């Protein structure tokens, strides 16, 4: 089979792999292994914030993104493709623009932000809740996109058979659709979580960079880079290890 692969494609692929591998190698080479534990300990707050923000944002993205995926896959209403375009927009939008858009709507002077503040006394910008919203905003489309593809690949005839066997809509979804869509949903969740964990632009714009309150790991890494580059390398390595672990877990259990 490999003989059929054109040589120039193979060469380009090799260059591409180098482009992807070199930076990671460089990071590993520069990591100060002796100071690693101390550096990570100093960033405990950012680690905790990132863990909480990415977890809660993923829950939001899953809870809202999967229903969106379902509606997009099985809905038969006008404007479905327009809805899909709107839902997917945050994927292609520069994150900083997402942050500005969040500020414009949910900020203190934004339409919804003012309402939230006046009615409930809730302020989102520059809080950890704001960081969660920012991460969920960019992560939800990934969950929707991948779960829609998963739902689409299921034969609608199976749901019809389930209906003829007396299963109401919720039971059909739970017993027929969900089990079959599980691999796709898991992939969507992993992608969404990874996106939430790595969120930078929208977070710094909407939630700011308040150490101990809204400073997530990526923000901490960026600002450590000026003061203590070694620490930035250590923290980056943590994120690389976590990402590789999640990716391989996903490959082993869901993406077979």
Partner 1 sequence: MLRFTGRVIRDQFRLDVDFEAGRDEVVAVVGPNGAGKTTLLRSLAGLEEDQAGTLLVDDEVWMDTESGIRLRPEQRRVGYVPQGGLLFPNLTVLENVAFGLDRTHTDHAQHWLERLELSHLADARPARLSGGQVQLVAFARAQARRPVLLLLDEPLASVDVANRASVRRVIRRELRESPGYRVFVTHDPLEAAALADRLIVLDGGRIVQTGSIDDLSSRPRSPYVAELVGMNFFSGDARNGSIALTSGATLVSAAVPDGPVLATVHPRAVALYGTRPSGSPRNVWMGRVTAIEPSLQQVRIEVTGPIRVVAEVTRRGAALFSEGDQVWVSIKASEVIGYPR
Helix 128-152 and helix 80-92: axis angle, to 10°?
130
Kindly state the smallest distance separating residue 148's Cβ from partner 1, in Å: 20
Compute the half-sphere exposure of residue 167: CA atoms within 13 Å on the CB side of its CA.
16
C-beta closer to partner 1: residue 2 or 164? 164
Residues 6+ apart with CB under 8 A from 231: 35, 39, 42, 43, 224
Q: In angstroms, how far is CA 144 from the centroid of its own chain?
A: 11
Kindly state the smallest distance separating residue 55's Cβ from partner 1, in Å: 28
C-beta closer to partner 1: residue 68 or 181? 181
Kindly state the smallest distance separating residue 182's Cβ from partner 1, in Å: 9
C-beta closer to partner 1: residue 5 or 160? 160
Q: Is the dihedral of CA 149, 141, 17, 15 positive or negative?
A: positive
C-beta closer to partner 1: residue 146 or 176? 176
C-beta closer to partner 1: residue 160 or 241? 160
CA distance 146 to 14: 29
Residues 6+ apart with CB under 8 A from 166: none
Kindly state the smallest distance separating residue 210's Cβ from partner 1, in Å: 47
Site residues for partner 1 per CB under 8 A? 155, 157-158, 160-168, 175-176, 179-180
Kindly state the smallest distance separating residue 161's Cβ from partner 1, in Å: 5
Kindly state the smallest distance separating residue 169's Cβ from partner 1, in Å: 8
> Looking at residue 56, what DSSP letter applies?
H
C-beta closer to partner 1: residue 150 or 218? 150
Selection from 17, 23, 42 nearest residue 237 by Cα: 23
């Amino acid at each position: 089979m490999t003989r059929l692969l054109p040589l120039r494609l193979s060469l380009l692929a090799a260059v591409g792999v180098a482009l992807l591998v070199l930076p990671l190698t460089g990071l590993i080479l520069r990591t100060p292994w002796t100071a690693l534990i101390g550096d990570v300990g100093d960033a405990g707050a950012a680690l905790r914030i990132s863990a909480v923000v990415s977890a809660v944002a993923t829950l939001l993205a899953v809870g809202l993104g999967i229903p969106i995926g379902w509606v997009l896959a099985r809905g038969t209403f006008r404007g479905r493709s327009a809805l899909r375009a709107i839902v997917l927009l945050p994927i292609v939008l520069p994150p900083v623009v997402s942050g500005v858009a969040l500020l414009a709507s949910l900020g203190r002077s934004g339409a919804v932000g003012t309402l939230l503040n006046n009615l409930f006394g809730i302020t989102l910008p520059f809080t950890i809740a704001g960081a969660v919203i920012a991460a969920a905003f960019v992560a939800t489309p990934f969950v929707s996109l991948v779960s829609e593809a998963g739902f689409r690949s299921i034969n609608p005839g199976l749901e019809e058979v389930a209906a003829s066997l007396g299963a109401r809509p919720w039971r059909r979804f739970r017993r027929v659709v969900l089990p079959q869509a599980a691999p796709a949903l898991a992939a969507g969740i992993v992608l969404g979580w990874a996106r939430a964990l790595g969120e930078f632009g929208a977070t710094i714009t909407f939630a700011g960079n308040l150490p101990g309150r809204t400073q997530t790991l990526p923000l901490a890494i960026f600002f450590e880079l000026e003061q203590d580059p070694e620490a930035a390398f250590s923290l980056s390595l943590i994120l690389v290890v976590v990402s590789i672990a999640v990716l391989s877990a996903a490959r082993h259990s869901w993406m077979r």
